[in-house]
A = this chain, B = another copy of it.
Amino acid sequence: MYRIGIDIGATNMRVALFNDAYQLMERAEQKTEAHLGVAQALEKLFDMIQQVDPNQFASGIGIGAPGPLDAAQGIILDAPNLPGWHGFRLKEAIFKRFGKPVFLTNDAKVAALAEAKLGAGKGCHTVQFITVSTGVGGGFVHCGELFSGFHGHASEVGNMIVDVSGGNTLEEVCSGTALLYESKRLFGNEKTAKDLFIAAKNHHSEAEGIVERWITHFSAGLTSMIQVLDPEIFVLGGAVMLRNPWLIKHLTDRVETLVYESMRSNVKLKLASLGEDAGLYGAAMLVKRRD
């Protein structure tokens, strides 16, 4: 069974055709240019779908897109990176054109699915994936299926409250955006989160303090997730993690001191392994086999 996966990002849209073994057969990519409206974006998607699957082999089309979105109805909601797309009935538009089942879920969740089934979580029974990039998102994969929660909002982990006294959510302290802000504040407007991590490695004390605070907050979030969900493994992805894999060890050490003693030997954090393509693979996995 062939499947199409679509990854819609703030900058690029990517479309790929996968065979039954999730081998990538064909791919296409175009700029999203969200600010130019949905009509042009939809035309580009139609073209790319046609291009990767000219003979219409695919049984269905899966899409990962930035949230918030209405997965059941297949509608883009208030995605901050897709200005002007609010209310865009993406699923309906693609179904009308191709007449195949279309599935839509947020980008962190499709990446979770891919990492759980083919990436760093392969072979694990339950995987909590967390992505730390512009924001902090995640997806919980249980027995090979995404756990979406009763209202479809499970794993919106960026809004976990880890610091009542400081008034901070996980995302407010741990996102790439928060690190970028701190880097600019300390080192000037042209600097990025990367400069902050370099300064911390060179023992710049304020930068060290910010990275230390990041580790403290993220460890608190991981600990709370362990206490609630007890996943077999955490897979951590997104630009902040992928560019700083050394953080994994620091987080593991810290979390081990925070969880209940009975859980200490079970703390298992791994770096995501599929890189940028996780979203494409995971989107294709949304297409269910029809038995």
* A residues at B contact (CB < 8 Å): 68, 77, 125-126, 140, 148-166, 168, 216-217, 220-221, 223-232, 258-260, 262-263, 266
Q: Are A223 and B160 in contact (CB under 8 A)?
A: yes
CB within 8 Å for A159 and B230 given contacts A165-B165, A217-B164: no
Number of identical protomers = 2
Contact A150 B162 (CB under 8 A): no
| Chain B residues within 8 Å of A232, by CB | 150-151
Q: Is the CB of B153 within 8 A of A260?
A: yes
**A150:B163 contact, CB within 8 angstroms:** no
Instruction: Give the residues in chain B near A161, CB-CB below 8 Å.
Output: 162, 220-221, 223-224, 258
Q: Given contact pairs A77-B262, A161-B221, A164-B168, enumerate 12 new A-B contacts (beta carbons under 8 Å).
A: A68-B262, A140-B228, A150-B266, A154-B229, A155-B227, A159-B223, A160-B224, A162-B164, A164-B217, A165-B166, A225-B228, A228-B229
Q: Contact at B227–A160, with CB atoms within 8 Å? A: yes
Closest chain B residue, CB of each to CB of A164: B163
CA distance A259 to B229 in the complex (A): 19
B152, B258, B263: the one contacting A153 at CB < 8 Å is: B263
Is there contact, CB below 8 Å, between B154 and A228?
yes
In-complex Cβ contact of A152 among B126, B227, B230 (8 A): B230
A266 proximity list for chain B (CB < 8 A): 150-151, 153
The 10 closest A-B pairs by CB, nearest first: A149-B230, A165-B165, A161-B220, A150-B232, A154-B230, A160-B224, A165-B166, A163-B164, A153-B230, A159-B227
Question: How far is B85's CA from A34's CA once the two chains are assembled, in angstroms?
Answer: 64
Q: Whole-angstrom distance between the alpha carbons of A148 and B149 in the complex?
A: 16
Return A80 CB to nearest CB of chain B, in Å.
Answer: 13
The contact of A125 among B150, B224, B225, by CB within 8 Å, is B150
A216: chain B residues at CB < 8 Å are 164
Contacts of A154 in B (CB 8 A): 228-230
User: Which residues of B are found within 8 Å of A148, using beta-carbon distances?
Assistant: 230
* A228-B126 contact, Cβ under 8 Å, with A163-B164, A166-B165, A217-B164: no
Q: Which residue of B lies closest to A260 (CB)?
A: B159
Are the C-beta atoms of A160 and B228 separated by less than 8 Å? yes
In the bound complex, residues from chain B placing their C-beta under 8 Å from that of A160 are 223-224, 227-228
Given the known A-B contacts A163-B165, A164-B162, are A150 and B230 also in contact in the complex, defined by CB atoms under 8 Å? yes
CA distance A159 to B159 in the complex (A): 18
A231 in contact with B150 given A68-B260, A160-B224, A162-B162 (CB within 8 Å)? yes
Taken together as a complex, chains A and B put the C-alpha atoms of A68 and B230 apart, in Å, by 15
Question: What CA separation (Å) do A140 and B260 show in the bound complex?
Answer: 18
- A250, chain B: closest CB distance, angstroms: 15
User: Which residues of chain B are within 8 angstroms of A159 by Cβ–Cβ distance?
Assistant: 223, 227, 258-260
